[in-house]
Structure 1
Amino acid sequence: MTPLAPSLSALVRLRAERPEAVAEAAARRTRRRLIRHPGDRLMIIAADHPARGALAVGDRSLAMANRFELLERLCLALSRPGVDGVLASADVLDDLLLLGALEDKVVMGSMNRGGLAGAAFELDDRFTGYRPDDLVRQGFDAGKLLLRIDHDDPGSLDTLHTAARTIDAMAAHRLPVFRRTVPLPPRRRFRLRNDLGAAAVATSIAIASGLAGTSAYTWLKVPVTDDPDAMGRAMEASTLPAVLLGGEVGDDQDAAYGKWRDALRLPTVRGLVVGRSLLYPVDGDVTLAVDTAVSLLRPGRDGP
Structure 2
Amino acid sequence: MARSYAEVTELRARRPEVVAQALARRARRPLLGDDGRLMIVAADHPARGALAARGRADAMASRTELLDRLQAALARPGVDGLLATADVAEDLLLLGALEGKVVIASMNRGGLAGASFELDDRMTGYDVPGIVEAGFDGGKMLLRVALDDPGTAATLQACGRAVTELNRARRAALLEPFWSSRREGRVVNDLSPAAVVRSVHVAQGLGASSAHTWLKLPVVDQMERVMDATTLPTLLLGGDPVAAPEETYAAWSTALALPAVRGLVVGRALLFPPDDDVAAAVDTAVSLVR
Q: Is 1:105–2:101 an aligned residue pair?
A: yes
- Corresponding position of 1:21: 18
Supply the distance in 2 between the matched residues of 1:184 and 1:52 (Cα, whole angstroms). Answer: 17
Q: When you count strand as a share of all residues, which structure comes out higher?
A: 2
Deviations 1:142-195 (A, max 9, x none): 11011000011122111111111111111111011110011114x633111111
Matches within 5 A, 1:195-214: 195-214=190-209
How far apart are the structure 2 equivalents of 1:126 and 1:159? 6
Is 1:141–1:175's contact at 8 Å kept on the other side of the alignment? yes
Aligned with residue 222 of structure 1, among 201, 217, 221: 217
- 1:88-99, aligned counterparts within 5 Å? 88-99=84-95
2: CA distance, partners of 1:147 / 1:193: 13
Match of 1:235 in 2: 227
SS in 2 for 1:169: helix
**Deviation sequence 1:82-139 (CA, Å, 0-9, x none):** 0000000000001011001000000111000000011111101000000000011111
8 Å CA contact retained: 1:167, 1:177: yes
CA RMSD of aligned residues (A): 1.2
Corresponding letter in the other structure for 1:67: R
Task: State the one-letter code of the partner of 1:130.
Answer: Y
Query: 1:301 — aligned with what?
Result: none
1:8 pairs, out of 5, 9, 21, with 5
Matched, 1:125 2:121: yes
CA distance in 2 between counterparts of 1:78 and 1:133 reads 26
The C-alpha deviation readout for 1:187-236, integer Å capped at 9, x for no partner, is 633111111111100000011011111100000000111x2xx2110111
Alignment of 1:155-174 (within 5 A): 155-174=151-170
Runs of 4+ with deviation above 3 angstroms = none
CA distance in 2, matches of 1:35, 1:108: 13
Aligned 8 A contact 1:44 1:273 in 2: yes
User: Residue 211 of structure 2 aligns to which amino acid in structure 1?
Assistant: A
CA deviation after TM superposition for structure 1 residue 11, in Å: 1.0
Q: Which letter does structure 1 place at the counterpart of 2:19?
A: V
Structure 2 counterpart of 1:245 = 237
Name the counterpart of 2:59: 63
Partner letter of residue 213 of structure 2? Answer: T
Matched-pair contact (CA < 8 Å) for 1:88–1:109: yes
Letter in 2 for 1:32: R
What SS does the aligned partner of 2:8 have? Answer: helix
Structure 2: runs of 5 or more not aligned? none
State the number of aligned residues: 289
Corresponding residue number in structure 1 for 2:184: 189
Shift of 1:251: 4.8
Equivalent of residue 250 in structure 2, options 255, 258, 261? 258
CA contact (8 A) 1:111 1:131 kept: yes
The answer to whether the 8 Å contact 1:251/1:282 transfers is no
The offset of 1:6, in angstroms, is 5.0
CA distance in 2, matches of 1:95, 1:155: 32
Q: Percent identity of the aligned residues? A: 57
1:274 aligns with 2:270: no
Distance in 2 of aligned mates of 1:150 and 1:25: 40
Q: What letter matches 1:11 in structure 2?
A: V
Contact 2:117 2:151 (8 Å CA) reproduced: no
